Amino acid sequence: MTLFKTLVFAVIIGSSFVTYSQEAEVSQEKQIDKTSYYQKRALEDAKYEQQFTAETKADDETFWEDQKTYEKNLKKNDKKAYRAYMKGKKDAYANHYEHCDNHCHHSDYYYHHASFYYYGYSNNYYNNRYNNRSTVNTRVRVSTLSVRAGLGLF
């Protein structure tokens, strides 16, 4: 009887391990699917953003605020999906940066957000567009003569 109980207990424990390992495999597959989904979604969003032209400045601002809100909510709700999404965005913006020159006409909002996704935009665009002024940094140091007097007692 004890042997029977032990055998039943071992079968139950063994089957729970098998079930747990199968659930873990399914969970990993879902995670991979979710990661690839958000990377593909990021590529599609980036392509749309790169082709987007707003009719008014207010429309442009609204569009980019909505995009920022989407990313903020994604980060709050699912950090792994957010990381996959941002990696996809970074890759898409880096790819676009390679061939984006004078023929690309993007708004200021685009370049502001693009610099968040890919640092190449901030170095190229903002340095050429907003930092046209010349600044000279000079440092002047004025020293005064110091006189010290001391009394020596023997």
Per residue in 3-31, pLDDT (tens digit) is 666 655 555 665 554 445 445 555 566 66
pLDDT at residue 130, rounded to an integer: 46
pLDDT at residue 62, rounded to an integer: 92
* pLDDT averaged per 10 residues, the chain (length 154): 61 54 54 84 90 88 91 91 90 83 77 73 48 61 72 67
pLDDT at residue 152, rounded to an integer: 67
pLDDT at residue 126, rounded to an integer: 42
What string of DSSP letters covers the chain? Answer: -HHHHHHHHHHHHHHHHHHHHHHHHHHHHHHHHHHHHHHHHHHHHHHHHHH---SSHHHHHHHHHHHHHHHHHHHHH-HHHHHHHHHHHHHHHHHHHHH-STT----HHHHHHHHHH-HHHIIIIIHHHT--S---------------------
